[in-house]
């Protein structure tokens, strides 16, 4: 066993740092004020270098991740850590837990450039974090069994983070663990909706059952995958949800062409738009020739349970889609009301925290959800018929008259106003 002395380790660290353009300079100070000024200068230099390194990643990181990484590299606001590797370890956990594991490669590359000497220490915990990540999407027993049958997977994780192949390795690991046990709750959800949602003709129902036969293969993948099985499954689920939304709130508009395929786009996450929303299609593309609007699911919602909840939310927005993001509290409230009620009916076991549900949070989304939940579907259908869409209900007098005896004055104002998160 080769054990180096403290002097040898220090010499190696100095040599490594010098070769990578790093250096140290001792400066004498005579007062506490002088010390504070030196600390401010050091932080300024550290932040300048961190921002330069992060900028070199281009569009690989979302705005939230970029800022979080800079905080890690500068230790700003991280009193609980005395070294950057503790803060970096926490950021790794957050990226994996929040469904943006793809950004971890770029974060590690930046950290390596800033603090190469502590990289190995940081990556020691990576296999355990990946193991926990896999358990979020797969049966824990399957993950343990898979890990026991894959000697060396821990080293492979560390090596992939160093050489930039982590994303593909994680994808293969997810497929291997998710394919060991069928996602029965989502399969049952799909099967029940095909049988229970009314307003579907027999030809369409037969086509949905054919898609159901392919679903087990799709459910082994992330819903973000762009392949035949996953595409057909996403489209079928959104079709069923759109049909059910129309059964409850009235027919969708026929003034625009609406694509019934739900998309994922990492560029929206990178541009600081993590939420599910309505999209349009670039001129000259295949989709722009056929459709005016579509639905893009937030990139971080990459389990099928999360997809279902977000697609429920999006189905209500697709009843009267529009490009501009400004809408009323009523439309957002009804969208979450629909999502919550469909969740209770088809996936009651699912963790609302994991699905990013606003229920019980007390934030603005929760307030409009609670207010909209007081309105029966019959009243909501009448409101949409009267005003044209949930997003154009801005006349508090007419709205109050139609909801008399149901909503308080404060809730009428909340739902009629522009929604501000």
**CA angle, 318 then 320 then 322, to 5°:** 90
The H-or-E segment that residue 397 falls in is: helix 396-402
Long-range (24+ apart) CB contacts under 8 A made by 61-65 are 61/103, 61/106, 61/107, 61/270, 62/100, 62/103, 62/269, 62/270, 62/271, 62/272, 62/274, 63/270, 63/271, 63/272, 64/272, 64/274, 65/95, 65/100, 65/103, 65/107
Residue 181 has pLDDT above 60, yes or no: yes
The closest of 212, 215, 144 to 177, measured between CA atoms, is 144
pLDDT for the residue 276: 97
> Rounded to an integer, what distance in angstroms lies between the CA atom of residue 22 and that of residue 78?
23
In angstroms, how far is the first alpha carbon of the chain from the final one? 58
Q: What DSSP character marks residue 390?
A: G
CB 221 within 8 A of CB 230: yes
DSSP 72-93: HHHTTT-TT-SSHHHHHHHHHH
> Rounded to an integer, what distance in angstroms lies between the CA atom of residue 72 and that of residue 63?
14
Residue 333 has pLDDT above 60, yes or no: yes
Per residue in 116-154, pLDDT tens?
888 898 999 999 999 999 999 999 999 999 999 999 999
Q: Kindly report the average pLDDT of the chain as a whole number.
A: 91
- Which SS3 state, helix, strand or coil, does residue 258 take? strand
Residue 21 has pLDDT above 90, yes or no: no
Enter the tokens of residue 253.
């508009």
pLDDT for the residue 1: 42
Tell me which residue has tokens 């990484």.
69
> Rounded to an integer, what distance in angstroms lies between the CA atom of residue 240 and that of residue 23?
62
Strand 258-264's sheet: what is its strand order? 258-264, 293-297, 277-279
Residues in contact with 246: Cβ distance below 8 Å, sequence separation at least 6, in sequence order: 199, 252, 319
> Rounded to an integer, what distance in angstroms lies between the CA atom of residue 118 and that of residue 353?
34
pLDDT for the residue 12: 59
The closest of 389, 394, 417 to 320, measured between CA atoms, is 389
pLDDT for the residue 291: 96
pLDDT for the residue 41: 86
pLDDT for the residue 6: 59
Classify strands 277-279 and 293-297 as parallel, antiparallel or unpaired. antiparallel
Tell me which residue has tokens 């501000």.
420
Residues in contact with 318: Cβ distance below 8 Å, sequence separation at least 6, in sequence order: 242, 245, 252, 258, 278, 293, 295
> Rounded to an integer, what distance in angstroms lies between the CA atom of residue 357 and that of residue 364?
12
Lowest mean per-residue pLDDT among 71-75, 207-211, 214-218:
71-75
Residue 336 has pLDDT above 90, yes or no: yes
Per residue in 344-374, pLDDT tens?
999 999 999 999 999 999 999 999 999 999 9
CB 277 within 8 A of CB 317: yes
Per residue in 263-296, pLDDT tens?
999 999 989 999 999 999 999 888 999 999 999 9
CB 197 within 8 A of CB 247: yes
């Amino acid at each position: 066993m080769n054990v180096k002395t403290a002097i040898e380790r220090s010499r190696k660290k100095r040599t490594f740092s010098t070769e990578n353009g790093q250096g140290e300079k001792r400066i004498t100070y005579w007062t506490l004020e002088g010390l504070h000024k030196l600390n401010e200068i050091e932080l300024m230099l550290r932040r300048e270098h961190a921002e330069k390194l992060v900028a070199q990643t281009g569009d690989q990181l979302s705005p939230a991740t970029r800022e979080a990484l800079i905080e890690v590299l500068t230790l700003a606001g991280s009193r609980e850590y005395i070294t950057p590797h503790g803060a970096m370890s926490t950021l790794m956990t957050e990226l994996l837990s929040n469904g943006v594991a793809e950004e971890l490669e770029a974060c590690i590359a930046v950290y390596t450039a800033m603090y190469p000497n502590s990289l190995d220490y940081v990556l020691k915990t990576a296999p355990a974090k990946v193991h926990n990540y896999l358990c979020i999407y797969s049966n824990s027993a399957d993950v343990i069994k898979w890990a026991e049958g894959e000697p060396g997977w821990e080293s492979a994780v560390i090596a992939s983070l160093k050489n930039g192949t982590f994303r593909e390795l994680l994808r293969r690991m997810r497929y291997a663990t998710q394919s060991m046990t069928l996602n029965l709750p989502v399969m049952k959800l799909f099967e029940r909706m095909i049988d229970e949602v009314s307003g579907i003709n027999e030809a369409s129902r037969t086509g949905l059952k054919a898609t159901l036969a392919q679903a087990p293969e799709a459910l082994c993948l992330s819903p973000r995958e762009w392949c035949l099985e996953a595409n057909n499954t996403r489209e079928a689920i959104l079709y069923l949800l759109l049909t059910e939304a129309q059964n409850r709130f009235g027919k969708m508009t026929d003034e625009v062409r609406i694509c019934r395929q739900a998309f994922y786009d990492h560029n929206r996450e990178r541009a600081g738009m993590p939420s599910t929303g309505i999209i349009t299609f670039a001129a000259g593309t295949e989709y722009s020739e056929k459709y005016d609007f579509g639905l893009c699911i937030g990139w971080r919602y990459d389990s099928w349970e999360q997809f279902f909840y977000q697609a429920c939310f999006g189905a209500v927005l697709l009843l009267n889609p529009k490009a501009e993001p400004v809408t009323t509290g009523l439309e957002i409230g009804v969208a979450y009301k629909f999502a919550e009620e469909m969740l209770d009916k088809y996936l009651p076991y699912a963790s609302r925290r994991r699905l990013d549900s606003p229920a019980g949070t007390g934030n603005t989304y929760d307030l409009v959800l609670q207010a909209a939940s007081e309105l029966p579907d019959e009243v909501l259908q009448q409101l949409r018929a009267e005003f044209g869409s949930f997003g154009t209900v801005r006349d508090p007098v007419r709205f109050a008259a139609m909801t008399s005896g149901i909503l308080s004055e404060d809730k009428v104002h909340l739902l009629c106003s522009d929604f501000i998160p």
